[in-house]
Structure 1
Amino acid sequence: MRKELLAQVKRVVIKVGSGVLVGQDGVDPAIIEALVKDLCKVVEQGYEVLLVSSGAVATGKGDLGIVGRPPTIPLKQAAAAIGQSRLMRYYKDAFRTCGRRVAQILLTRDDLANRRRFLNARNTLMTLLEYGIIPIINENDTVVVDEIRFGDNDNLSALVTNLAESDLLVILSDVDGLYDSNPRTNPQARLINKIEHITPEIEGMAGGAGSEVGTGGMATKIEAAKRASLYGVSTVIVNGRQPHVLSRLFAGEELGSWFLPAVDRLNARKHWIAFTKKIRGRLLLDEGAHQALADKGKSLLPSGIIEVEGNFERGDAVRLCDAEGREFARGIINYSQAELVRIQGHNSQDIEELLGYQYGAEVVHRDNLVLKKRAGQRAAICKE
Structure 2
Amino acid sequence: MQTFKWQRIVLKVGSALIAPEQNGCSSRYLLSIAQFIVRCRAQGIEVILVSSGSVAAGSHLFPADKARSVAMKKAMAAAGQTEMMAAWDRFFDFPSAQILLTHGDLRDRERYKSIRETIFTLLDHGVLPIINENDTVTTDDLRVGDNDNLSAMVAGAADADALMICSDVDGLFDKNPNLHSDAVLLPEIDKIDDSIYAMAGCATSAVGTGGMKTKIEAAEKATSHGITTFILNGFKEQTFNRLLEGENPGTIFMPYEKPMQEAIHWRTHTASEQGELVVEGNFTEPLDKNSKQLNPHEIVEVRGEFAVGDTILVRSDDGTKLAKARANYSSCLLNFIAENESTEFSDEVQDSIGPIISDEDIAVLEKS
Equivalent residue letter for 2:363: V
Whether the 8 Å CA contact 1:158–1:169 is kept in 2: the answer is yes
The answer as to whether partners of 1:61 and 1:67 remain within 8 angstroms in 2 is: no
Which structure 2 residues correspond to residues 198-347 of structure 1 after superposition, within 5 A? 198-289=192-283, 291-294=284-287, 297-299=289-291, 300-344=294-338, 345=341
User: CA offsets, 1:231-272, max 9 Å, x none?
Assistant: 111101110111142242132122100000122321111111
SS of structure 2 residue aligned to 1:368: strand
Question: SS in structure 2 opposite 1:342?
Answer: helix
The alpha carbon displacement at 1:349 in A equals 5.2
User: Which position in structure 2 is the counterpart of 1:368?
Assistant: 361
Q: Distance in 2 between matches of 1:118 and 1:237?
A: 26
Contact 1:39 1:247 in 2 (8 A): no
Confirm or deny: 8 A CA contact 2:97 2:129 kept in the other structure.
Answer: yes
Partner of residue 78, structure 1: 75
The residue aligned with 1:117 is 111
Q: In 2 relative to 1, CA 121–276 (structure 1 residues): closer, same or farther, beyond 3 Å? A: same
User: What one-letter code is carried by the residue in structure 1 that aligns with 2:62?
Assistant: L
Q: Which amino acid aligns with 1:333?
A: A
* Structure-to-structure mapping, 1:89-238, within 5 angstroms: 89-95=86-92, 99-238=93-232
CA RMSD of aligned residues (A): 2.1
Name structure 1 gaps, 5 residues minimum: 380-384
Total equivalences in the alignment: 361
Is the alpha carbon distance of 1:195 and 1:55 closer, same or farther for their aligned partners in structure 2, counting shifts above 3 Å?
A: same
Q: What is the TM-score with the length of structure 1 in the denominator? A: 0.88
SS in 1 for 2:81: helix
CA deviation map 1:103-146 (0-9, x unaligned): 00000011111111111111111100000000000000000111
What secondary structure is seen at the aligned counterpart in 1 of 2:221?
helix
Tell me the CA shift for residue 34 of structure 1: 3.1
The answer to whether the 8 Å contact 2:295/2:350 transfers is no
By how many angstroms is 1:147 displaced?
A: 0.6
The DSSP-based 3-state class of the residue aligned with 1:275 is helix
User: CA offset at residue 321 of structure 1?
Assistant: 1.3
Whole-angstrom distance in 2 between the partners of 1:250 and 1:170: 13
- Rounded to whole Å, the distance in 2 between the matches of 1:21 and 1:244 is 18
The answer (yes or no) to whether the contact 2:17–2:30 under 8 Å persists in 1 is no
Whole-angstrom distance in 1 between the partners of 2:309 and 2:191: 33
**Partner Cα separation in structure 2 for residue 18 and residue 328 of structure 1:** 37
Matched AA of 1:139: E
CA contact (8 A) 2:14 2:53 kept: yes
Matched letter for residue 285 of structure 1:
V
Write the distance in 1 (CA, Å) between the matches of 2:182 and 2:28: 33
For residues 202 and 33 of structure 2, the distance between their equivalents in structure 1, rounded to whole angstroms, comes to 27
Q: Are the aligned partners of 2:32 and 2:240 in contact in 1 as well (CA < 8 Å)?
A: no
Cα offsets for 1:320-377 (capped at 9, x unmatched):
1111334332111111112212334568752277xxx63xx3211223222221xxxx
Aligned to 1:382: none
Alignment correspondent of 2:39: 41
Regions of 4+ moved over 6 Å? none
